[in-house]
Amino acid sequence: MDNPKLKKTSLSQEDLFNFSELFKLMKPRVMSLVIFTCAVGLLTAPNPVSTKDAIIGILLVSIGAGAAGALNMWYESDLDALMKRTCLRPIPTGKVNRNQAFIFGVTLSIISVVALDYFSNRLSASLLLLTILFYVFVYTIWLKRRTPQNIVIGGAAGAFPPVIGWTIATSSLSIEPLTFFLIIFIWTPSHFWALSLYKSNDYKKANIPMLPLTNGIESTKINIFVYSLLMLPVIIFPYLINFVGLAFLIPSLLLTLYYNFLCYELYNYKKNKFDPKKAKSIFGYSILYLFLVFVLFLIDKII
């Protein structure tokens, strides 16, 4: 005779397992960046926000970003199964089916947008909805399989969270949060193209038109270097509009110049060839670079 207590324990473990796999659909590493940049946008805004409202707002933006990630995995499950980097995601491994991922993504999208509208303001909710729709329809469905410029245009989706953080605090848009948007938007291409260089075989298997495959290694190296140089005026911009002081400008410029140096080294390697270690170091440093730049926004605000 079956023991009902054992059945209950088994069901609970299964539920926890399913929740864990559904959570993976939300791209937790990307969500962590969203949480951080959104928090910076909120904390650097001129209007004070209560701890409770700040936590609710940031949490809902994170859920919205996670929903976009789930819908991205739903649509790209065929490509994910072909790539070594993504083949262990929940849908390719069969731990979650496509219908579950779709329902999960749509449900979280609705909950996050409606709740942000209720707890925060209509502008923030509208920007979150725009972010989700842009990431799913413009980047995932329209651009990614069609053009090597997918990550350039699609990078706008990742640049919205700090802007939403600002609007949660102020209920308005101004020139200051544009600096957050521009930094992430211009940073994204060099970051992802460095990854695409040493993961080009993966993208080739999935037939994704990343720049190294469509335009070649040399063109990719040039583009990475050019976009790293574009970070210089973008980093200076918040200082020019008196949003930040020298406590931000000087260290962020030094971080950017070092990024330029790494990208130049990659570009200056043998023609039509690249150093995989250097490409990996650029990808790794770019993550640290963005994190430190946003930390500097907070330090400057405190000072």
pLDDT digits (tens, 9 = 90+) for 245-254: 999 999 999 9
More confidently predicted of 198 and 18:
198
- Dist CA 211 CA 263 (whole Å): 16
Q: What is the mean pLDDT of residues 84-95?
A: 92
- Verify that 37 and 168 share a domain, yes or no: yes
Read off the CATH number of the domain in which 154 is found.
Answer: 1.10.357.140
Query: Does a structural domain hold residue 10?
Result: no
Query: Does a structural domain hold residue 4?
Result: no
Residue-level length of the chain = 303
- Verify that 137 and 181 share a domain, yes or no: no
- Biggest alpha carbon–alpha carbon distance for the chain: 76
Query: Does a structural domain hold residue 8?
Result: no
Q: How many domains does the chain have?
A: 2
Query: Does a structural domain hold residue 128?
Result: yes
Residue 105: pLDDT above 70? yes
- Verify that 189 and 202 share a domain, yes or no: yes
Tens digit of each residue's pLDDT (9 = 90 or more) over 138-176: 999 999 999 999 999 888 999 999 999 999 999 999 999
Q: What is the pLDDT of residue 273?
A: 84
Query: Does a structural domain hold residue 50?
Result: yes
Q: What is the pLDDT of residue 9?
A: 44
Q: Residue 294: give the domain boundaries.
A: 175-303
pLDDT-derived band at 17, boundaries 50, 70, 90 = low
- Verify that 147 and 214 share a domain, yes or no: no
- Dist CA 56 CA 99 (whole Å): 29
Q: Where is the domain boundary, 143, 173, 203?
A: 173
Q: Where is the domain boundary, 173, 196, 222?
A: 173
Contact assessment for residue 120 and residue 42, using Cβ atoms and an 8 Å cutoff: no
- Dist CA 81 CA 60 (whole Å): 30
- pTM, two decimals, is 0.91
- Verify that 153 and 223 share a domain, yes or no: no
